[in-house]
Structure 1
Amino acid sequence: MRNHGWQVNVVTPRSAAQSVEATARNRFGLAERGIHGEYIRSYPSMKKPSHIAGKIIKNALDGALMLPVALLRARPNVVIATVPALPTMFIGYAVASILRRPLLLEMRDAWPDLISDSRILRWKWLTNMAHRAVRAVQRRATLVVTVTDGFAGILAGDGVRAVQTIHNGISTRNFEPMPKSSKREDSKLHVLYLGNLGESQGLESVLLAATMVADEVEVRIVGGGTAAERLQRYAERIGANVDFLDPARGDALRAHYQWADTCVVSLRDDWASFNHTIPSKIYELLAMDRHITGIVKGEAAQIITDAEAGDIVDHDPRHIADLWLELLADKGRLDVGTTGREWVFEKASLEKLGEKYVELISGIARRERNHD
């Protein structure tokens, strides 16, 4: 957007992890220039809670503070609300309605389907009300952008007329390929899970599988999230010899990838909405030429298969363990070549996806100018 000369204003909660100096410099709603020349207008936010109820409260408070900050800005050509945080959707709709501007609603998760799947609301009447409220905003948006084709089809079939898909991806501008793994002293298969430790991943299956092949397979889990402590307690209870490590970035992240023979991508299989959910981690693993143990289904499984980048398995721990033993016996299967990387450069480059996004927004802005 900035490359096309657009002025971009971002309204967002300020991370509690920001330094005191940055917090003092960036007072409530004060604009700060981002690295691309965008204006970032942030406001204080509470520390991210570890439980779902706390996350709902945090998101609601963030949304309440977002409204006045957004309305104090100059009238934009287009309002973009990006979700998974549901309050952002309603605040975006309010801002677009008050300022009489078009609304582009970006659905990065399968809401409202996830409300029913996750059962985050205890009462059925409240779930139904939330479902109707989300769908009403989606139907009233000028354009809804999804990250999967399947979810776009669901929305279109449920009365959302203007839907487009722009997939997730990774930046390929300064891409550095992973070097080939060096020879190791141990003969075990190295299995890595790197990412969010939440309710969505269903990592209990991985832990149970680890107990079945403890002598042949070494499992490392890197990350944090709402389910981290519960998963560690569960691993201790079942006797899973799994290393839990803190989230990593930069060289530490690449070191984990260098260690791994295969990397796990997992989504629980009892939420129907995950048929149309693609973890963004898949694109990173494809670009890194890592073999993927895909404990996924639907569109996520199809991408791994199309890119010839790994093996798909269900959540049965015995099946996962059997796959790892097969890979250990035939390590040639772990060499996925560069097909995954080529697939990413062709279909999931953020630079190419960004140009497509610019075209969509330009079309909305042109129609609005003609309307005016």
Structure 2
Amino acid sequence: MAGWRVNVVTPRTVEQFDSTSSNRRLRSIEVGPHGEHIRSYPSMKKPSHIAGKIAKNIVDGALMLPRALLQARPSIVIATVPALPTMFIGFIVATIFRRPLLLEMRDAWPDLISDSRILRWKWLTRLAHGAVRAVQRRATVVVTVTDGFADILARDGVRAVQTIHNGISTRHFEPLHDRPKRTDAKLHVLYLGNLGESQGLESVILASTMVPEHVKLRIVGGGTASDRLRRYAEKIDARIDFQAPARGDALRSHYEWADTCVVSLRDDWASFNHTVPSKIYELLSLGCHITGIVKGEAAQIISDAAAGDIVDHDPIHIADLWRQLLTDKQKLDVGKTGRDWVFEKASLEKLGEKYVDLINGIITSEKKHG
């Protein structure tokens, strides 16, 4: 739409990379569905231990850099992070090409380094924190997806910060069909998404054991904590319906099964006060009731959209909420308020236009001063 040529450097899993012979060559280019030119490189699956994660980051950076430098000199370099190697490679490429760097922070780095204790040594944590903040301060513009994290960066000396929130495409908005006829009178609770350390799903699993006669809990997805959560559920005799990740019609069937959908972020990481899971926008667009086990901006969005109920991570409080929802099922009908909120504030098409204006502004300013 904007008439740009977009060159993308991105990882693929080893299986995806090996399945296409054209991907094997350093200079090979694929054309994506939107006309973007893609150079990919093989990347291992995310390891569960710290040594493996560090090794993966080093290898990813080493494979990304030469492919990024094979591009013609760009007008602007955009580095999208949660993957930290992308930030540093983007900085190197922008410096070599002498082009502006737009750094898109989709997670609250470097705060997450401290919260997650991903690095065991304090000196290494301080070093990583300082390195991330140094790149953020040197970027032409840093884009965040929440206002709160933008404020934190600005207070910490990052000179140019813009907020462009997450969103969802409203071009082909298709509401859920009528839910199938029930064969039981229980409340159907669904968690669908990543099974990692960030979600704190132990609280949800434990809460389900407090209301087994009232609630069916289904957990759909995969991730680094998947096996541990299954073992935990078995240990406490929680009868959880664990299912593999789903897409397309299978995904919609899970939503049609559910009375309420869980969005959860653990409450002992301060950075999650300024984190909004993208799953919230999907649930708002579908008109699903949300059990929001979140704080900060994520909780505020659910409340503003009148799309569900907010509860803390205490399993007793979660179980109490589910009892209330089963007793008063009118609370489960959130109507179209969430969909209306998405159209107004989280339409991907509108956010895309805002992004185009931002990038055009950076390029125009660079030409004036270059």
TM-score tier by shorter-chain length is: over 0.9
The one-letter code of the counterpart of 1:321 is: A
Equivalents in 2 of 1:190, 1:223: separation in Å?
17
16 and 48 in structure 1: CA distance in 2 versus 1, 3 angstrom threshold? farther
Residue aligning to 1:223: 221
Equivalents in 2 of 1:117, 1:20: separation in Å?
36
Equivalents in 1 of 2:82, 2:9: separation in Å?
15
* 1:208 and 2:172 correspond: no
The one-letter code of the counterpart of 1:13 is: P
Residue aligning to 1:34: 32
Equivalent residues, number? 370
The answer to which of 52-61 and 69-78 deviates more is 52-61
The one-letter code of the counterpart of 1:112 is: P
* 1:351 and 2:358 correspond: no
Equivalents in 2 of 1:52, 1:351: separation in Å?
38
The one-letter code of the counterpart of 1:49 is: P
Residues 147-158 of structure 1 mapped to structure 2, 5 A cutoff: 147-158=145-156
Residue aligning to 1:324: 322
Residue aligning to 1:59: 57
Residues 174-193 of structure 1 mapped to structure 2, 5 A cutoff: 174-193=172-191
Equivalents in 2 of 1:130, 1:52: separation in Å?
14
SS at match of 2:9: strand
343 and 26 in structure 1: CA distance in 2 versus 1, 3 angstrom threshold? farther
Equivalents in 2 of 1:75, 1:19: separation in Å?
26
Using the TM superposition, give the Cα deviation of residue 20 of structure 1 relative to its aligned residue in structure 2, in angstroms: 4.5
Listed one character per residue, the Cα deviations across residues 87-139 of structure 1 (whole Å, up to 9, x for unaligned) are 11011000000110000000000000000000000010110111111101000
* Percent of aligned positions that are identical: 76
Runs of 5+ consecutive residues of structure 1 not aligned to the other structure: none
Equivalents in 1 of 2:15, 2:212: separation in Å?
37
53 and 174 in structure 1: CA distance in 2 versus 1, 3 angstrom threshold? farther
Equivalents in 2 of 1:164, 1:356: separation in Å?
11
Residue aligning to 2:70: 72
Equivalents in 2 of 1:192, 1:97: separation in Å?
46
The answer to which of 71-80 and 60-69 deviates more is 60-69
Residue aligning to 1:7: 5
The answer to which of 340-349 and 55-64 deviates more is 55-64
Using the TM superposition, give the Cα deviation of residue 52 of structure 1 relative to its aligned residue in structure 2, in angstroms: 4.5
Query: Is the 1:283–1:344 Cα contact (8 Å) retained in structure 2?
Result: yes
Residue aligning to 1:169: 167
The CA RMSD measured in Å over matched residues stands at 1.2
Equivalents in 2 of 1:315, 1:215: separation in Å?
21
Which of these residues, 47, 65, 78, is aligned with residue 49 of structure 1? 47
TM-score using structure 1 length: 0.97
Residue aligning to 1:301: 299
The answer to which of 21-30 and 198-207 deviates more is 21-30
SS at match of 1:191: strand
Using the TM superposition, give the Cα deviation of residue 346 of structure 1 relative to its aligned residue in structure 2, in angstroms: 1.1
52 and 265 in structure 1: CA distance in 2 versus 1, 3 angstrom threshold? farther
The answer to which of 75-84 and 14-23 deviates more is 14-23
Which of these residues, 136, 158, 161, is aligned with residue 160 of structure 1? 158
Using the TM superposition, give the Cα deviation of residue 246 of structure 1 relative to its aligned residue in structure 2, in angstroms: 0.2
Residue aligning to 1:367: 365
Equivalents in 2 of 1:4, 1:118: separation in Å?
39
Listed one character per residue, the Cα deviations across residues 185-205 of structure 1 (whole Å, up to 9, x for unaligned) are 200000000000000000000
TM-score using structure 2 length: 0.98
The one-letter code of the counterpart of 1:133 is: A
